[in-house]
Amino acid sequence: MLRHNNPHLDTRRLGKYIRQRSEAAETPPAWPGEARWRESLQGRAVELGASRQRGSFPVADYAALLGRPDSDFLDNAYRHLVGRLPDDEERHHDLAQLMAGLPRERLLLRLASRGEHGGDELPGLARGLSRARWMYHPRIGRGVRWLLGALRLDRLRERLDQTARLQDTRYQALLEMLREQGERINALEDEQRRLMADSRRLCQRLDALPADDAPPPSMAPRPSEPAVHAEAAGVTVPSGGRKPPQQDATGQDFYRALEARFRGAPSAITALMREHLPEVHSTVPLAEGLPLLDLGCGRGEWLALLRQEGIAARGVDLNAANIRAGREQGLEVRYQDALAALCDSADASLGMVSAFHLVEHLDHDQLRLLLHEAHRALAPGGRLLLETPNPQNLIVGSCNFYLDPTHVRPLPPDFLVFLAEFAGFEGVAARPLHPVGEQHHLHEESETARRLNHYLYGPQDYALLATRPAALDSQALRTGQEQDA
């Protein structure tokens, strides 16, 4: 429709001219592709001409008619009740009423009451129109609608009851599965307790064996065997053949480069070590002025932190680059074997002995000798602090532990606690450290997720804390020395 939106344009004259030209135009020839176009729709029922662009899909029955979108519903309703598609005015008017909330049954009743020539019969349409007449009868329509709504509520209630019974059945099945899993877990725990009891009995039998049957421990390499300093561990270990170069082409030390890559920046390591300061400050011999000896002091983060806290401490290491770096910081460090430093210490001359990530570099005999000498060199009430990777974390025990080629074997916490107690320490405890961040955990409330978070993302390290008894039993000490000899 032409509107008067241009004051310089005579719209009435232009409209009259357009109508004249349209009436004088000849009828266009038949379109040869009409039949092919109809066949290409594959049964899609549309009218040609003005409705060509809005063809609707046919419906199979009355229920499908009510379930179609407004546009398709309107086209199909006109087709089956009036025998044609709605024109533009009818279409816009009826769509507006449907969008305003007019029930579809009332629109069907209005189309059926026009008395125009009807279209093809739709299954269920006559029965649906009959029900709609009762629903919207001027006198009894409200009651009929209320009754039908009540019937629908009954059906809905039946469906809800059926769904509740189904959910209850599923819940019972889940409870049964949980009971079975609980029984399996209990059986595994019983088996674990049985194996631990067998292990304790085996250890008791081994302890009861005569001393002559036990193989003599190797305290040091024989004079005829070549020895090489394991710079990472700070101890002397036997080796044969030539050593690989310890520096690259630029002069960078191998083990310092390895620590920089996988252990972390010194500032991050210092932040983690601060959690051990309460044990340091509560150690009585340190407060009385006895020094702390750090074995395998590495880059000196622990010694620098102790200097800030006013604790007298010295360290030993067999990495020359670490010794140079420590002396540049003004730290008291010495190029010396860890076991040799302990053996050179006088009885009860140390307030504390610490070793961070050292014991995993030792074999069994060296580890037992280290614990024995630390017990001898510590003053009564002195403490031993050992930090090492936690093999209870499966990722650490199976992968990350072997990033350092100088590691010998992982040390389970219970085994290291046993060795410290066997060496004469008391108050021995293994404290878990450095769990994986929460962002990597499985965020599920299930037993499986809890166990996976514990074994995969739990503590990556642990610290062994042990104290030399205040009243030393000399007879027990002599017995331990005879067993280790």
Return the axis-axis angle of helices 301-308 and 266-273, rounded to nearest 10°.
60
Task: Tell me the C-alpha distance between 291 and 341, whole Å.
Answer: 13
Confidence of residue 51 (pLDDT cuts 50, 70, 90): very low
- Identify the pLDDT of residue 105: 83
- When pLDDT is averaged across residues 379-402 and rounded to a whole number, the result is 87
Query: Is the Cβ–Cβ distance between 265 and 258 less than 8 Å?
Result: no
**How do residues 73-121 score in pLDDT, each as one tens digit?**
888 888 888 888 888 888 888 888 888 888 888 888 888 877 665 555 7
Terminal-to-terminal C-alpha distance of the chain: 114
Query: Is the Cβ–Cβ distance between 270 and 304 less than 8 Å?
Result: yes
- Identify the pLDDT of residue 28: 64
Task: Tell me the C-alpha distance between 109 and 92, whole Å.
Answer: 18
Query: Is the Cβ–Cβ distance between 361 and 255 less than 8 Å?
Result: no
Q: How many helices (H) and strands (E) does the chain have?
A: 20, 9
Greatest mean pLDDT among 205-214, 267-276, 426-435, 476-485 lies in 426-435
Whether 277 shows a pLDDT value over 90: the answer reads yes
Paired tokens of 58: 């046919």
Paired tokens of 359: 């014991």
Paired tokens of 286: 């340190």
The whole-chain average pLDDT of the chain stands at 78
**How do residues 188-238 score in pLDDT, each as one tens digit?**
999 999 998 888 888 887 776 654 443 333 333 333 333 333 444 455 545
Specify the higher pLDDT residue, 359 or 109.
359
Query: Is the Cβ–Cβ distance between 303 and 327 less than 8 Å?
Result: no
Whether 143 shows a pLDDT value over 60: the answer reads yes
- Identify the pLDDT of residue 56: 61
- Identify the pLDDT of residue 149: 67
- Identify the pLDDT of residue 212: 42
- Identify the pLDDT of residue 321: 85
Task: Tell me the C-alpha distance between 200 and 207, whole Å.
Answer: 11
